[in-house]
Amino acid sequence: GKGGVDVVLVDAPCSSTGVLRRNPSLRWSLQAEDVELLPRLQKDILRNASRHVRPGGGLVYATCAINRMENEDVADWFRENYNGTFQTWPFENFGSNRRALLPHIHGTDGFYISRWRRIKYDPEGGQAPMATVKRLQTAGSVTLQRAEKRQRELTKEVLSKINEDIEQLQGELNLIQGGGDSFSSEWSDSQEPSREDGGDEEEEGMDVDDVEGIIDVRGRSLRDPYEVPVSPNVPPFNFPPSPYSGKKKDWDS
More confident call, 215 vs 74:
74
* Active-site residue set: 64
pLDDT at 133 over 80: no
Mean pLDDT along residues 125-140: 55
Indicate the pairing of strand 5-11 with strand 53-63: parallel
Look at domain 5-126 and name its CATH class: alpha beta
Q: What is the pLDDT of residue 252?
A: 52
% of the chain exceeding 90 in pLDDT: 32
What is the domain partition of the chain in residue ranges? 5-126, 128-159, 212-246
Q: What is the pLDDT of residue 174?
A: 85
More confident call, 28 vs 130:
28
Of 239, 18, 29, the C-alpha closest to 109 is 18
More confident call, 162 vs 197:
162
Q: What is the pLDDT of residue 146?
A: 74
Of 96, 69, 87, 73, the C-alpha closest to 128 is 87
In this prediction, residue 97 has a pLDDT band, given cuts at 50, 70 and 90, of very high
In this prediction, residue 181 has a pLDDT band, given cuts at 50, 70 and 90, of low
pLDDT tens digit sequence for 7-26: 999 999 999 999 988 888 88
* 230 Cβ neighbours under 8 A, 6+ residues apart: 217, 236, 237, 251, 252
CA atoms within 13 A of residue 88's CA, in its CB half-sphere: 15
What is the C-alpha to C-alpha distance for residues 54 and 77, in angstroms, rounded to an integer? 21
Q: What is the pLDDT of residue 165?
A: 87
What is the C-alpha to C-alpha distance for residues 209 and 234, in angstroms, rounded to an integer? 9
Confirm whether residue 209 is marked as ligand binding.
no
pLDDT at 77 over 90: yes
What is the C-alpha to C-alpha distance for residues 215 and 221, in angstroms, rounded to an integer? 10
Calculate the average pLDDT of the chain: 75
pTM, entire model: 0.48
Could you say which DSSP state residue 241 is in? P
